[in-house]
Amino acid sequence: MSTPNNAFFESVMRNFDKAAPHTGLDKGLLHQIKVCNAVYQINFPVKMDDGAINVIESYRVQHSHHRLPTKGGIRYDNNVDQHEVMALASLMTYKCALVDVPFGGAKGGIKINPKAMSEGELERVTRRYTAELVRKNFIGPGIDVPAPDYGTSGREMAWIMDTYQTLKHGEIDAVACVTGKPVTQNGINGRVDATGRGVFYGLRRCFEYEEDMKKIGLTKGIKGKTMVVQGLGNVGSYTALISSVEGGVKVIGIAEYEGSIYDPNGIDIEKLLEFRRSTGSIVGFPGTTTLETRTSALELECDILVPAALENQITAENAPRIKAKVIAEAANGPVTADAEEILISKGILVIPDMYINAGGVTVSYFEWLKNLSHHRFGRMEKRFDQNQNERFAQLLEEMTGKKINELERNFLTQGADEVDLVRSGLEDTMISSYDQIRKEWISNSNGISMRTAAFVVALKKIGSDYATLGIFP
């Protein structure tokens, strides 16, 4: 039976197959890279608030053990099934390779509707799931490190860390068993907005190439471009916020579960988020027009469309009506393989998920490094740098006889905080990874898509890992 999740999994496999012939890798090795190395399904009981016992279906898939630990988020959603988690775990492997995060890919999923459960119920589900992972050795700082995904956040990650620490009492690196934790619970500054910020950095880089922009009828530079975002959750809200506030992008449309809205003059995202927090909906936000359906905003005329909700949102059915010039796949798998062919034939540039949403795993990697080093980035050098820079500023004043104004002095002398270092590492990662993909995309004489180019770059890196390591035993 074909289900939407099967279709998502098949899309990922199809995209892999398109790239494989361009890698020069051995057929058997490609097969090994393609398959999921370990799939674990757990059905466990949880006592609900009303005393009922519910059996919860859940998964953890480790797609590739070529590098350890494996890494990938945990999704809480009613549509979770094995195929969806396998597809997402596969994407994690290619994503990590692309952005040089030295992990294999993994993903977890629990088939629940978190919105219909109390906090206590969610805590019991999360802790029991973690205990089951510990039991089978499917979690640990050097084994498999989960993170947030759709339907989960720092709260769930803190429960996972606490459960793991309780069961693994005395393990010195225990807090590195999960990332995306709240900053007060061994998390890292800059993780919460990392995926959305990464989407912005990636888009900004893409728009810096004048010749690429010309080909799709756009001018160079992201400032002033129009954007539509689907899904105002973690990824979508930070993409919209950072793109508009830091990048000067005009966000003209938002699609959410409850409906979609439009304002050609640009929507104030900060105010919209506040409005949604207080009313529970984006619909009715002052100054905006409510569109016909939840998906109508996807079909608006705009420069950049950012699907940041779930997979299978742009399909062969609605692809012909999409009018964006660039699609940034902030969600995993929002454009199906069939839809992508239609979009490309219309001259639309699709920036693939495995690259554009890799900011989350990049900063998760920084968090893992912080946890293993047991100290905050910047703690040792911030004051030293500041004092040294201050001395340089004084010398400059003495030598030139001119006074540096306070604003410039602060800029020149500041030492880096953790968040500054995290953002600089993220920015550098998104820029250099884009350039690697683009090089493959532009130089490949077969006219491949940017997604195929991204796959080729990732597969070549994984292939070279295998070439160095060999196959055990």
> Catalytic residue positions?
107
- Tell me the closest approach of the beta carbon of residue 423 to ligand NAD, in angstroms: 15
Nearer to ligand NAD, 240 or 309 (CB): 309
User: 76-95 mask for ligand NAD (x: CB under 6 A)?
Assistant: --------------------
Q: Is 433 in the site for ligand NAD (CB under 6 A)?
A: no
Chain residue at closest Cβ approach to ligand NAD: 233
Which of the ranges 6-14, 98-106, 231-239, 441-449 carries the binding residues for ligand NAD, by CB under 6 A? 231-239
β-pairing verdict for 70-76 and 144-148: parallel
Pick one of 179, 234, 288, 312: the residue that binds ligand NAD (CB under 6 A). Answer: 234
For ligand NAD, which residue of 150, 201, 207, 368 counts as binding (CB under 6 A)? Answer: 150
The answer to whether 304 and 278 are in contact (CB under 8 A) is no
* Backbone phi, psi, residue 268, to 5°: -75, 105
* x/- track of binding to ligand NAD for residues 354-373 (CB under 6 A): ---x--x-------------
Closest approach, Cβ 458 to ligand NAD, in A, equals: 15
| Beta strand residue intervals within 48-193, DSSP E | 53-62, 70-76, 104-110, 144-148
Helix (H) or strand (E) holding 39: strand 38-47
Please tell me whether residue 233 binds ligand NAD under the rule CB under 6 A: yes
Quickly list DSSP for 260-284.
Answer: EEE-TT---HHHHHHHHHHHS-STT
Binders of ligand NAD among residues 204 to 223 (CB under 6 A) are none
Using CB under 6 A, which of the segments 29-37, 219-227, 327-335, 338-346 binds ligand NAD? 327-335
Our measurement of the distance from residue 154's CA atom to the centroid of its chain's CA atoms, rounded to an integer in Å, reads 15
Nearer to ligand NAD, 256 or 303 (CB): 256
Q: Does 202 bind ligand NAD (CB under 6 A)?
A: no
- CB of residue 208 to ligand NAD, shortest distance in Å: 23
Q: Which two tokens stand for residue 426?
A: 């993220």
| Least distance CB 183 / ligand NAD (angstroms) | 15
CB-nearer residue toward ligand NAD: 335 or 457: 335
Sheet holding 104-110, edge to edge: 38-47, 53-62, 104-110, 70-76, 144-148
Q: Which is nearer to ligand NAD, 54 or 281 (CB)?
A: 281
Pairwise CA distance, residues 8 & 107, whole Å: 15
Cα radius of gyration rounded to whole Å, the chain: 23
For ligand NAD, the closer CB: 69 or 463? 69
Rounded Cα distance, 4 and 365, in Å: 31
Which 338-357 positions form the footprint of ligand NAD (CB under 6 A)? 357
How many chain residues bind ligand NAD (CB under 6 A)? 24
Contact 4, 81 (CB under 8 A): no
**End-to-end Cα spacing for the chain:** 38
Beta bridge partners of 2: none
Q: Considering only residues 272 through 311, tell me which ones interact with ligand NAD, judged by CB under 6 A.
A: 294, 308-310
User: Which member of 69, 146, 154, 231 binds ligand NAD (CB under 6 A)?
Assistant: 231
User: Do residues 8 and 311 lie in contact, with contact meaning Cβ atoms separated by under 8 Å?
Assistant: yes
Q: Which is nearer to ligand NAD, 197 or 460 (CB)?
A: 197
* Among 290, 180, 296, CA closest to 230: 296
Query: Which residue stretches of 280-357 are H helix?
Result: 337-345, 353-356
* Sheet with 289-290, edge to edge strand ranges: 289-290, 259-262, 250-256, 226-230, 304-307, 326-328, 349-351
- Of the pair 25, 238, the CB lying nearest ligand NAD is at 238
Sites for ligand NAD among residues 248-277 (CB under 6 A): 255-257
CA distance 139 to 143: 6
> What would the x/- binding string for ligand NAD be over residues 110 to 149, using CB under 6 A?
--------------------------------------xx
Contact yes or no for 41/82 (Cβ under 8 A):
yes
Cβ of residue 148: shortest distance to ligand NAD, in angstroms? 5
Which residues are near ligand NAD by CB under 6 A? 148-151, 195, 230-236, 255-257, 294, 308-310, 330-332, 357, 360
